[in-house]
Structure 1
Amino acid sequence: MSIQNPNKKIRIEGEAEEPQIDRLSSLPDHVLHHVLSFFNDTQFSVRTCVLSSRWRSLWKHVPRLTLDTDFFNSASSFARYVDGVLSSRPDGSNVDEIHFFHLGFSLDKELFHRVVKFAASSNCQELIVCVGYDEILEPHLLADSNLGTLRFRCTTLGTGFGSCALSSLRVLDLDDCCLPCGSAADLDPFANFPCLENLTLCRCAMEDRQCCFKISGPRLVKLEISALCCSKLEIFAPELKFFDITDMAKSPILYQLALPSLDHGIISVHDNGRVEKNKEEMKASCISLLQGLHNASSLNVRSHFLEVYS
C-alpha cells in the first residue's frame, strides 16, 4: 500500500507547467538600488552583476557606498577596488551616504581625498569616516566639500581642523576622536561651520587636556557631550535648544556657558571611582555647570548625579 504525499502536486499529462516568476528582479530599479545599499560592503552589491542582465548595472546606482578595508588583504587592492567603484558610477548619479573605513593599513591620503572629492561632486549628504588613532587626518583633505553630515569614528584630527571651512555642514558627530590643539582655531574648532545645527562629542579628548576648549555655534540647536576630556569648556550657542551632558565624573571640567535660548537640559553622571578622589574639583565642576544652565526652561538631573554630589 502506498501513501501519497498530500502536499505534492500531481502533474496531469498535457497540463502546462506554471511559469517561474522572478519577483525580486521585477521590482522597480529604485527599490532594488535601496535593497542593495544594505549590504555591509559595496563589493557584495557589485557581485550581483553576474545574476542576470537585469542586475548587471544596478549596483552602480546604489545610494549608499560602504568601503571597508576589512575585506581586503592589502591597501593597494583596496585602493584599486575603491577607484573602480567610484569610476563606474554614471555621470549625474548621486550618492546619499559614503562609509569609509580604513583600518589595518597605513592611510592612503590621496585615496581618501579622491573619496571626499567624489562625495562633493555627487551631492553626498553624509560621510562616515574611521581611519584609526595612529593616522592623523589632515584637514585640507576635507576642503571644498559640501557635506551636510560628517561622522568621525576612532580618528585623530590633524592641526588646523578648526580652520577647515565647511560651509554646508549641519550635523557633526565625533565618536572616540582626538582633537588637536596646535593652532588658535583648533581651540574653537566649530566656529568655521556657520550652518552647524547638531553636534555630538562622545569619548573625545583634547591633544593637550589642559587646553580650554571652546564651542561656538551661532546656529547650533542640539548639543550632546559624553566623556569629554579637557580642563575647561566654554560654550557660546545663542540658538541652542537642547543640551545633554553625561559622564561628568570622567574628568572634572569647569564650565562657562552662554545658552540664552536653552529649552531642555539633561545632566547625568556615572561614578567610576574618580569622584571621591576629586571631590572638591567635581563639586566646582557641578556648580559651574548648573550656573550655566540656570535659564533652561526644563532641566532633567539624573538621580545618581545628586547622589554623587550630596
Structure 2
Amino acid sequence: MPKTSARLLALLSLLQARRDWPGTLLADRLDISLRTVRRDVDRLRELGYPIAAIKGPDGGYRLSAGTELPPLLFDDEQAVALTIALQVAATSTGDALAEAAARALTTIRQVLPARLRNRVEALRVTAVERPATRPAAPVDGDVLLAISAAVRAREVLRFDYGDEDADRAPRRAEPHHVITWDGRWYLIAWDLDRADWRTFRADRMSLRTPNGPRFTPRELPGGDVATYVIGKFRGSEDGNWPCQGTVILDLPAATVALYTRDGIIEEAGPGRCRLTLESWSWPALAAAIARYDADIEVVGPAELTDAFGHLARRFARTAAKS
C-alpha cells in the first residue's frame, strides 16, 4: 500500500478530476479499502479540503467549494495552460489584478518540476487588450512554446506560412513578441527576406527545425509592442487612425454613447451631440458616421465632406442599377 502522503495526493488528484466519485470506485482506483478511503477523506478535510459525502447505495464523495483556497494539484497540460493565462492576465489587466497574476505566476514557477519549468520559462506572451469579435483560432500549444522559446533565445525562426508551397524556401524571421489580438495569436517579427517588420498568425505557421542563428534584437517601431500592434492593425505605426473627423449629429449624446466604443462624444445642445471618430480611410469614416441614421453636419476636415459626396455618388449609382 502506498504511504499515507502519496495516497492522499493520489486521492486529491482523483477528486479534482471529476465531480462525483463513488466510494467503491475510489477504493478500486487507489487499491485500498473503503475504510481507508474514509480515513483519508477525513485527513483531507482536516487539511482544509471541503469534501462532501454523497448519499446513495454505495455512498461517495465530492470536492466542493469552500471558504478558503486549499492547495491544488495540476497535471502537465493544466500547468502550461495556467502559466499562459497568468502571463496574459499579468500584462493585460488593471494594476491590482496584474500584480496578483504576476505573484501567482511566480508561485507556480517555484514549484514546477524541472521538465515543465524549462518549457514555461521560455514562454513570453504579451496581451494587447481589445474585445474579441470572433472565436479564438486554434493554435497548437507546442507551436506557441517553440515560438516563445525562439523569442527568448533570440534565434531566427524558419517556417512555412499559410497555404504557401511547402517546396519553397521557408520564411526566415527574427521573432520579437508573441501577442494576442481579437481572439488570435500573432508573432511580431523582423522578416529577413523582406527586410521589414511583419505580423504572422501563429495558427498559420508550420515551424521548420532547427532554428536559425542567434541575432541581436532590433528596436520595434514606436518602442512599445502595444503601441506598435494597435497601430499595425489600425493602419498607422503611432497607434492613431490615419483619418479623423468631427461631425454634429441630430441625436442626444446619451443615445450615441450606447453605440460608440472608440469615439469622443460631447453635448451640442438639446437633442444634438458632437462626435469625433477615427478610421483607416475617409470613406470608411463617413460610412461609420452614416450608420447612426441621423442628420449630419460636418465640422471638419474637408476630406470628410468630400468622402460623404463620394459615398453619395456611389450609392446613387448602386440604386440606379437596382
Give the TM-score normalised by the residue count of structure 1: 0.29
Which structure shows the bigger proportion of residues in helix conformation?
Answer: 2
